[in-house]
Amino acid sequence: MSSFSFHLDATDTATAARAGRWQTPHGVVNTPVFMPVGTLGTVKGLLPAQLREAGAQMVLSNTYHLALRPGSEIVAEMGGLHRFMDWDGPILTDSGGFQVFSLAKMRKIDDDKVVFRSHIDGNLLELSPERAVLIQEQLGADCIMCLDECPPSGESIEKICKAVDRTTAWAKRCRDAQRRTDQALFGIVQGGVHPGMRQRSAEGLLPIDFPGYAVGGLSVGEPPPVMYQILDSTVPMLPENKPRYLMGVGRPEDIIEAVCRGIDMFDCVMPTRNGRNAMAFTSQGPVRIRNQVHARDERSLDPECDCTACTRFSRAYLRHLFVAKEMLGPILLSLHNIAFYQRLVRQLREAIVLGRSAEFRAEQLARWNSRIPA
């Protein structure tokens, strides 16, 4: 793991927020960091150069989906995922563990493996911990994830305990299966909304000494205050000298709250999915660009944003693109939303360095909450 190192530049003692630098084989990542999601090796509708223009440092792709199409062997033959998708920065691949949750009706699971029935053609895909690691080694991402079981929100304590113990056993098998030394394998803390189960999970994973740890199984239906309570009890158990990743959480207010609790890394489809559906995140709060109120609106989408959508086009034009079903509309709002998220984590980092993360949180949440939705 000599290709990786994590250094804390600042910790805000008023909260638990951290500003760090994570050295990877494909460059340094300044944290907090938000990773746009490119499930199939592409962030929908955006070129890699546009992601860079928006400020993205690192992107995420998915093991399950790339194993089905085009296949990890083909990606390896094409020189690995970085070359295949023309992204020269760091990449993280999820293990397929989230699909254990999201595709529950299309899979069977036991202590050895999970077997999926492909949503594409009905063929079977077996994912054991060893297979998940092999696929991710073929893809060649900088950061790879252990195969885990994410239990649904509201599951019984008995089933959550079983999922936690299975996740721990699978993490050990993943670590034993890893052959490449230029990939950082993260363990994933599960446990639902039960602090005792989260502690059980962390205590099982910490002795394996992963180079980073993720918190999984949140934002799957529980109210935000419950998620914050789980972070309050879980994050302090994780090593201070290693990156901490909150998986799949993407509401801007949740990112701020999680950073103030010591989380360093985030990913979510929200900025691009919402962008494709005509919803923009702005410094003043969300804007639903299809609304009639924008039909003759000459203003920019967000006066505090310097992305192409905001510097070149009016709200009226952006609304026209969506009403006319022109593909440029989803592209521009996806680009803008990615730029918004990147600016948010940069501002958070600056606030942490200045010891102002608590003030930044209060100011930003008050700003968003005081605005009437457009």
Q: Furthest-apart CA pair in the chain: how many Å?
A: 61
- Identify whether residues 209 and 324 lie together within a single domain: no
My answer on whether 210 and 300 are in the same domain is no
Output the six-digit token pair for 269: 């489809």
Task: Please report the pLDDT score of residue 2 as a whole number.
Answer: 66
pLDDT at 373: 64
- Please check whether residue 373 is in contact with residue 285, taking contact to mean a CB–CB distance below 8 angstroms: yes
Q: Has 267 been annotated as catalytic? A: yes
Residues 276 and 222 in one domain: no
Q: Kindly give the confidence (pLDDT) of every residue in the chain, 374 residues in length, as a single tens digit, with 9 standing for 90 and above.
A: 568 999 999 999 999 999 999 999 999 999 999 999 999 999 999 999 999 999 999 999 999 999 999 999 999 999 999 999 999 999 999 987 777 767 777 788 899 999 888 888 888 889 999 999 999 999 999 999 999 998 887 889 999 999 999 999 999 999 999 999 999 999 999 999 999 999 999 999 999 999 999 999 998 889 999 999 999 999 999 999 999 999 999 999 999 999 999 999 999 999 999 999 999 999 999 999 999 999 999 999 999 999 999 999 999 999 999 999 999 999 999 999 999 999 999 999 999 999 999 999 999 999 998 766 67
Token code pair at residue 154: 């509201």
Which pLDDT score, from 0 to 100, does residue 136 have? 98
E strands in 46-129: 59-62, 91-94, 107-109, 114-117, 124-127
| Residue 40 shares a structural domain with residue 74 | yes
Q: Are residues 176 and 311 in the same domain?
A: no
Based on the domain organization, do 29 and 152 belong to the same domain?
A: yes
Indicate the pTM of the whole model. Answer: 0.96
- What local confidence, expressed as pLDDT, does residue 98 receive? 73
- Residue 334's domain comprises 269-374
How many Å apart are CA 161 and CA 321, to the nearest integer? Answer: 49
Among residues 216, 251, 268, the one where a domain terminates is 268
Neighbours of 293 (CB within 10 A): 13
Do both 245 and 146 map to the same domain?
Answer: yes
Residue where one domain finishes, among candidates 268, 283, 314: 268
Look at residue 122 in the predicted model and tell me its pLDDT: 85
Helix (H/G/I), strand (E/B), else coil: 312: helix
246 in the same domain as 148? yes
Domain count of the chain?
A: 2
Supply the CATH number for residue 58's domain: 3.20.20.105
Sign of torsion over alpha carbons 192, 213, 20, 180: negative
The residues, ordered by sequence, that sit 6+ positions from 276 with a Cβ below 8 Å of its Cβ are: 44, 45, 330, 333, 334
Cite the DSSP H helix spans in 240-353.
Answer: 252-259, 270-276, 308-312, 315-323, 328-353
- Candidates 90, 104, 106; CA nearest to 26 is 90
Q: How many residues does the chain have?
A: 374
| Cα–Cα distance, 159 to 184 (Å, whole number) | 29
Active site residue 86: no
Residues forming beta bridges with residue 41, ordered by sequence position? none
CB 254 within 8 A of CB 218: no
Partners of 115 in the β-ladder: 108, 126
From 12, 94, 254, 264, the catalytic residue: 94
Are residues 111 and 235 located together in one domain of the fold?
A: yes
pLDDT at 4 (0 to 100): 95
User: How many angstroms separate the Cα of 47 from the Cα of each of 53, 144, 151, 221, 290?
Assistant: 10, 23, 35, 32, 25
Domain boundary among 231, 251, 268: 268
Rounded distance between C-alpha atoms, residue 56 and residue 338, angstroms: 8
Same domain, 67 and 124: yes
Closest CA to 191 of 224, 219, 221, 157: 157
Please state, in angstroms and rounded to a whole number, the distance separating the CA atoms of residues 267 and 155.
24
Catalytic position from the list 142, 148, 267, 297: 267
* 3-state SS, residue 220: coil
Angle between helices 157-177 and 195-205 (to 10 degrees): 20
Please say whether the beta carbons of 108 and 157 come within 8 A.
no
Q: Which residues have CB under 8 Å from 236's CB, separation 6+?
A: 16, 262
